[in-house]
Structure 1
Amino acid sequence: MNTLTQLRSGALQGAQRLTLRAGLRELPEEVYSLADSLEELDLSGNELDDLSDDLTRLHRLRVIFCSNNRFTRLPEVLGRCEALEMVGFKANQIAEVPAIALPPRLRWLILTDNRITALPDELGRRPRLQKMALAGNRLRALPASLAACGRLELLRISANQLDGLPDWLLALPRLTWLAHGGNPFSAAHEAHALNHAPMPSVPWSQLDVQGLLGEGASGHIYRAAPAGGEAVAVKVFKGEVTSDGLPSTELAACLHAGAHPQLIPAIGRLSDHPAGADGLLMPLVGPEFRTLAGPPSLASCTRDVYDPALRLTPRAALTVAAGIASALAHLHARGLTHGDLYAHNILHDGLGQARLGDFGAASFLASVPAHQAVRLQALDVRALGCLLEELVACCDERTPPLQAMSALAQACLQADIDRRPSAAELAKLLLVQVA
């Protein structure tokens, strides 16, 4: 994070990135002294409600974040920023998105947790559009023009007012990661899962909470021990809209998912939390397990970022792939999509054992017509294809089984959605290669 003192003293001259948290009501004039270098500007957590037309002076600006401010309208000046690719205005009070506010090179749009009821048709005339986060708004429909966005890969439309999914959306050739829970058309199935899951309830007062293990978009994970029992992991949901959607949707999916060796299971439901929060009890994962990759970066947009030092044997890579494919097939058979099948949601031990978690983008297949349910599963399969590609890239050898896995990856990634194999078919084929 930078300071106004640094900016005004000239200490930031030549900076490519600038982050200011200073209760700003307008952009300081000194920012424009960085016009020939500044590419990323983060103004989140201020008191802004508009941006000056002078923003166009930042002619190299590619990324702007203005989350947690006071905007009620997406600023029109953004549409005149020729180099701008990523726009993030999460958690404002935006109700209107003018067509002229959309930059011509728009690739990544974050408008999570606002008050938007409609989006302009102009959005479909942004051919580079690859990623959109729109959860927690008041959308009743999506612009039909988005059918032309052939590069769109990730879409979050959870927790809106949608009464269904348009068929054209599920025909997009590169759409891979879709979250749509928490809408009226899925509410009944989510509520049924919450109310009828055969899961023991554990009061918060009976847990000896021993420390924070980590934090995700939807909750905090603690190490805790039930009275007289072994230590477990407890996920306490934040109870607010996240980039994926509603914590209640994630909770419903976790409770409905059932048991599988490659899933991190729910073993109990938290009750009587002092703040009224929902939560889950899960077994602790051993210390030998670590995250397979990091989440996407600004540069990679939709693809995970792997440690270049990570190397896997062909057998380990194939075993991970077969296990995750089997877990995905299990979810589909249970009537769920995962929606966020990424390496950053997979824990592995380096020897082939892996666990898939994070159901924040999951959805219930019964909430859509049968033909759409088939295509929703095909989106998860495309995500699996991305994972297979990445696992192959982590291997130094190129054995025949790995070549077979590469071929399966291409089958998952093909643009003809209806020709992609099922997760169950992939699990069987990958298991053969492991053997």
Structure 2
Amino acid sequence: MNTLELLEAGQLAGATRLDLSCGLTEFPQAIFTLADSLEVLNLSGNALTRLPDDLHRLHKLKVLFCSDNPFTELPACIGRCPQLSMVGFKANRIEHVPAEALPAQLRWLILTDNRIEHLPEQLGDCLQMQKLMLSGNRLQALPESLARLENLELLRLSANRLPALPDWLLRLPRLAWLAYAGNPMSEAFTTPHSEGTRGHVAWSDLRLDAQLGEGASGIIYRAHLDSGQPVAVKLYKGAMTSDGSPVNEMNACMAAGEHPQLIEVLGRLSGHPDGTAGLVMALIDPSFANLAGPPSLASCTRDIYSADFAIDRDALLRLLRGMAGVGAHLHARGINHGDFYAHNVLWRKSGECLFGDFGGASFYPGDGGEVSQALERIEVRAFGLLFEELLTHCEEVHDDLWALQRQCVQPQVLARPSFAEITRNLDA
């Protein structure tokens, strides 16, 4: 984290990134001394309510973060920044999004956890948009103009007031990651088809050990039951994440049931002294590692693999079969995972894999109708992009695998194969 003192003393000259979180109530004019170099500006965690009208003087600015500030309106001045392509105003108090605030070259917009009831039709003019994150607002409808966003790949709509998904959304040619839980839709979109047979695990029967990790929705601990059995416990933070509500995530985990590629859930946590929600899960063998890291600011929607990552053909096929199989299992239960990414996959070099993180999961009707087919095939595109990434890291790939991958990502949504069809093709 940079400091205002260093900035005002001229010691950050030439910086391409600036992070200031120090209770700011006014935009520091000293930031303009970096106009010829600054590309990423992070002013999150301050007390700002406005930005200067001449913000466009930061002519090289590409990324602007202003999360956790009390803005009530998305500042119109950001729309005049000539290179700005990523804007993040999460957890503000924004009620109004003026059309003038939308840069023409916008690729990634985060407005999670605000008070937005309407979006301008001009949002559909941002034709380069790839990521649009709107969870935790008060939207009752989406602009029809969004049907023009043919480059949109990730869309977060959870915890709004949408009564249904618009028809055009199910036809977007590049959409792959979709979350919409927590909206007042029909029961088929809000209620799991199966809760499984798992019950509850009492807090009094658990002993927490070391913290294993922390994500957007919760903290995971190593623990053990009174019987001595080692387990993992995820305690939910209760806050809105970019994907949606942790409660929806927990419901989807319980409804997912058992599958070799899913981390086993032993039950919901009950009796926490602070009323904290949680899940008790099987402890993962430490020999499993993340398949990839999450997207970067530059890659936007694509995961980041280690420089030395490689996979042989046998491991590739085993991993693909596992992921296609778990996709078929979830969609047979009317569950759209919403975050079908390599960074949510744990794997071994042999190709064994485990799939997790249900933060973006949503339910949908199990009637086999056109809507349910489209929602499955939107996720098939996400699988197809993972498929492509793995193929590029394998030296022994036959043309038939590339042909199957191309089927998974073709722009006509309903022309893509189902996960069950993909599984049969891989088995063959």
Taking structure 2 as the reference length, what is the TM-score of the superposition? 0.97
Following TM superposition, the consecutive aligned residue runs of length 4 or more in structure 1 with deviations greater than 2 angstroms are 186-194, 367-370
Equivalent residue number for residue 332 of structure 2: 333
1:430 partnered with 2:426: yes
How much does 1:8 deviate?
1.1
Superposed counterparts of 1:62-81, under 5 Å: 62-81=62-81
List runs of 5+ in structure 1 lacking aligned partners: none
Equivalent residue number for residue 278 of structure 2: 279
Equivalent residue number for residue 159 of structure 2: 159
Superposed counterparts of 1:32-43, under 5 Å: 32-43=32-43
Rounded to whole Å, the distance in 2 between the matches of 1:190 and 1:291 is 30
Superposed counterparts of 1:17-36, under 5 Å: 17-36=17-36
Equivalent residue number for residue 135 of structure 1: 135
Change (3 A) 1:193 1:369: closer
Note if contact 2:192-2:363 (Cα within 8 Å) is conserved in structure 1: no
What SS does the corresponding residue of 1:366 show, helix, strand or coil? coil
Equivalent residue number for residue 249 of structure 1: 248
Note if contact 1:179-1:363 (Cα within 8 Å) is conserved in structure 2: yes
Note if contact 2:188-2:365 (Cα within 8 Å) is conserved in structure 1: no
Equivalent residue number for residue 298 of structure 2: 299
Query: Quick one: which amino acid aligns to residue 300 of structure 1?
Result: S
Change (3 A) 1:47 1:187: farther
Query: Quick one: which amino acid aligns to residue 130 of structure 1?
Result: Q
Q: CA offsets per residue over residues 98-156 of structure 1, 9 Å max, x none?
A: 01111111110000000000100000011111101100000000000000110000000
Rounded to whole Å, the distance in 2 between the matches of 1:191 and 1:43 is 39
Rounded to whole Å, the distance in 2 between the matches of 1:168 and 1:271 is 41
List runs of 5+ in structure 2 lacking aligned partners: none
Identity of aligned residues (%): 54
Equivalent residue number for residue 289 of structure 1: 288
Change (3 A) 1:169 1:220: same
Note if contact 1:155-1:177 (Cα within 8 Å) is conserved in structure 2: yes
What SS does the corresponding residue of 2:210 show, helix, strand or coil? strand
Superposed counterparts of 1:184-203, under 5 Å: 184-185=184-185, 190=190, 197-203=196-202
Rounded to whole Å, the distance in 2 between the matches of 1:275 and 1:45 is 26
Note if contact 2:61-2:81 (Cα within 8 Å) is conserved in structure 1: yes
Query: Quick one: which amino acid aligns to residue 364 of structure 1?
Result: F
Rounded to whole Å, the distance in 2 between the matches of 1:192 and 1:167 is 22
How much does 1:431 deviate?
2.3
Rounded to whole Å, the distance in 2 between the matches of 1:115 and 1:368 is 34
Equivalent residue number for residue 261 of structure 2: 262
Equivalent residue number for residue 47 of structure 2: 47
Query: Quick one: which amino acid aligns to residue 398 of structure 1?
Result: E
How much does 1:370 deviate?
2.7
What SS does the corresponding residue of 1:168 show, helix, strand or coil? helix
Q: CA RMSD in A?
A: 1.5
Superposed counterparts of 1:13-412, under 5 Å: 13-185=13-185, 190=190, 197-366=196-365, 370-395=369-394, 397-400=395-398, 403-412=399-408
1:12 partnered with 2:12: yes
Q: CA offsets per residue over residues 148-196 of structure 1, 9 Å max, x none?
A: 11000000000000000001011000000000001011567645679x5
Note if contact 2:189-2:362 (Cα within 8 Å) is conserved in structure 1: no
How much does 1:265 deviate?
2.3
Rounded to whole Å, the distance in 2 between the matches of 1:398 and 1:312 is 9
Note if contact 2:2-2:20 (Cα within 8 Å) is conserved in structure 1: yes
Equivalent residue number for residue 419 of structure 1: 415
Rounded to whole Å, the distance in 1 between the matches of 2:284 and 2:276 is 23
Rounded to whole Å, the distance in 2 between the matches of 1:368 and 1:57 is 54
What SS does the corresponding residue of 1:53 show, helix, strand or coil? coil
How much does 1:287 deviate?
1.1
How much does 1:200 deviate?
2.2
Rounded to whole Å, the distance in 2 between the matches of 1:399 and 1:91 is 45
How much does 1:350 deviate?
1.3
Change (3 A) 1:58 1:189: closer
Rounded to whole Å, the distance in 1 between the matches of 2:400 and 2:247 is 40
Q: How many matched pairs?
A: 428
Rounded to whole Å, the distance in 2 between the matches of 1:331 and 1:65 is 35
Note if contact 1:190-1:253 (Cα within 8 Å) is conserved in structure 2: no
